[in-house]
Amino acid sequence: MKVVKFGGSSLASGDQVKKVFDIVTSDPDRKVVVVSAPGKRYPEDRKVTDLLIELGERTLRGEEAPEYLSAVIARYSQVAEELKLPAEIVSKIELDLIQLLNADKTGQARYIDAIKASGEDNNAKLIAEYFKSRGIEATYINPKEAGLLVEENGGTALVLKKSYENLKSLRKRSGILIFPGFFGYNEASEVVTFSRSGSDITGSILANGIEADLYENFTDVDAVYSVNPNVVSNPKEIRELTYREMRELSYAGFSVFHDEALIPAFEAGIPVHIKNTNNPEAAGTRIVNERKNTNGPVIGIASDDDFCSIYVNKYLMNKEIGFGRKLLSILEDFGLTYEHSPSGIDDLSIILRQKQMNAETEELILERIRTDLKPDEVTVEHNLSLIMMVGEGMRHNIGTAARASKALAEAGVNIEMINQGSSEVSMMFGVKESQEKKAVQALYEEFFVGVYA
Ligand SMILES: Nc1ncnc2c1ncn2[C@@H]1O[C@H](COP(=O)(O)OP(=O)(O)O)[C@@H](O)[C@H]1O
Ligand SMILES: N[C@@H](CC(=O)OP(=O)(O)O)C(=O)O
């Protein structure tokens, strides 16, 4: 039995949905189909989820936003027309959305989540109707009835373990089950969405719950590439990588698969297969527990921008009991999360996503650090990019850091910081945002060109 997830790009038009139909019905093991909301049809297009967020936020502020409501409805209308489905389906979607917009606005986060989630919910209903219109037994499944329970954690959904047990009964249902991605229900029966691109997470949870043999994740590229294809053209495809490698790479910028989607599949030992809806014959990429390490130390290079680093220097910091804890507790008091903390004898840097802090909070934090910790120096460096080189092979290879540093130096890239993950499957370089692309290209050149040829 397989769980198959289709991303927004795979469902952006009626023609795309027809491809999805062909893929699902070509393999009788494809039982549970997880769908996203309609995504972009062309690069400048807007995803239905983005339109819904804008619509919800404007309505919450008391503004009229009829153009957003009609833009969402127009997307479903186009798909329904191309699939020759009755117009009544679209009227129901419109009614549902108007009801959600008129709902109680006291809990603002839950109000927006319900509107956001309607993108996948209504799409699942529409797609189930299409499968039925083609003579296939297909049922829309509501996550609440199926028992996909979550709690809110830092603003987004976190699956509750009991969901897995609840979802198991889906195995016994007949026909194809069309399940909306991206959200679950909390104990108060309210919708809570996962973070953006979270339908990947729903697919993984379902794979775990129904004890699937395989979780297939269909997207718009032939494979996971060793580097973001928007940074290097025609990069090498990765055939196989481990859960741990993929989690590090997703987290660090490979947006093709959500980093939180690895754990449910990993816990149940279910392989994940990334494939292309537009080219299902392509081999794709398999994510597995262990792989043969044949490709040298590095399997992928990911990068992401918009980080900053709080640098704290104090003579004999290493002798001061509780220094690190006190520093981190200041961040905690301001509700901030951090990503890395490289340290030396007398200094410590905390790297965080800079969108969490505005100029005012930044000044308050620095003031707290000065008062509570009495450092010799405290500064913030803005506009950093983090580049993550990942590979299980790095544990057994000597000299990877030296090769990387040399390649970056030769490309004229200044390394602001280096950090090796304790697991030794990743190595991070902090560089100025303006040098990110050049740095990734130089590392790709060093570790990939010629290696797989
Ligand atoms: N290393 C990578 N390999 C493949 N695709 C990548 C990589 N890094 C970033 N991407 C981007 O991820 C996109 C697919 O993810 P996404 O747009 O979320 O798909 P979906 O709509 O199917 O969920 C690709 O089109 C590509 O631009
Ligand atoms: N539609 C949601 C969830 C999702 O997973 O979408 P996609 O599969 O298009 O990345 C989003 O845009 O965040």
pLDDT tens digits, one per residue of 126-147: 999 999 999 999 999 999 999 9
- Percent of the chain exceeding pLDDT 90 equals 91
pLDDT digits (tens, 9 = 90+) for 155-164: 899 999 999 9
The binding-site residues of ligand 1, defined as CB within 6 angstroms of any ligand atom, are 7-10, 36, 39, 197, 219-221, 224-225, 228-230, 254-256
Average pLDDT of the segment spanning 105-113: 96
**What's the Cα-to-Cα distance from 245 to each of 224, 348, 399, rounded to whole Å?**
12, 27, 20
Q: At what angle do helices 323-333 and 359-373 cross, to 10 degrees?
A: 150
pLDDT digits (tens, 9 = 90+) for 381-437: 999 999 999 999 888 778 898 999 999 999 999 999 898 877 789 999 999 999 999
Ligand 2 centre from 320 Cα, in Å?
A: 46
Question: Under a CB-based contact definition with an 8 Å cutoff, are residues 88 and 147 in contact?
Answer: no
Quick one: pLDDT at residue 451? 60
Please give the number of the atom of ligand 2 that sits closest to the Cα of 39: 9
How many CB atoms neighbour CB 286 within 10 A? Answer: 18
Residue 294 has pLDDT above 70, yes or no: no
Average pLDDT of the segment spanning 265-283: 97
Residue having the nearest C-alpha atom to atom 5 of ligand 2: 197
**What's the Cα-to-Cα distance from 36 to each of 56, 127, 151, rounded to whole Å?**
18, 11, 21
Quick one: pLDDT at residue 453? 39
ipTM for the whole predicted complex goes beyond 0.85: yes
Question: Under a CB-based contact definition with an 8 Å cutoff, are residues 120 and 191 in contact?
Answer: no
Is the pTM value of this prediction over 0.90? yes
Question: Under a CB-based contact definition with an 8 Å cutoff, are residues 248 and 263 in contact?
Answer: no
Q: Residue 406's closest CA among 442, 376, 357?
A: 442
| Cα dihedral sign, 379-384-388-394 | negative
The binding-site residues of ligand 2, defined as CB within 6 angstroms of any ligand atom, are 7-8, 36-37, 39, 47, 49, 119, 181-182, 196-200
Place of tokens 């104090």: 314
Distance of alpha carbon 288 from alpha carbon 290, whole angstroms: 6
pLDDT digits (tens, 9 = 90+) for 356-375: 999 999 999 999 999 999 99
Tokens of 8: 């927004």
DSSP three-state, residue 424: coil
Ligand 1 centre from 217 Cα, in Å?
A: 11
Ligand 1 centre from 221 Cα, in Å?
A: 7
Q: What angle do CA 419, 269, 396 make, to 5 degrees?
A: 35
DSSP three-state, residue 388: strand
Please give the number of the atom of ligand 2 that sits closest to the Cα of 8: 9
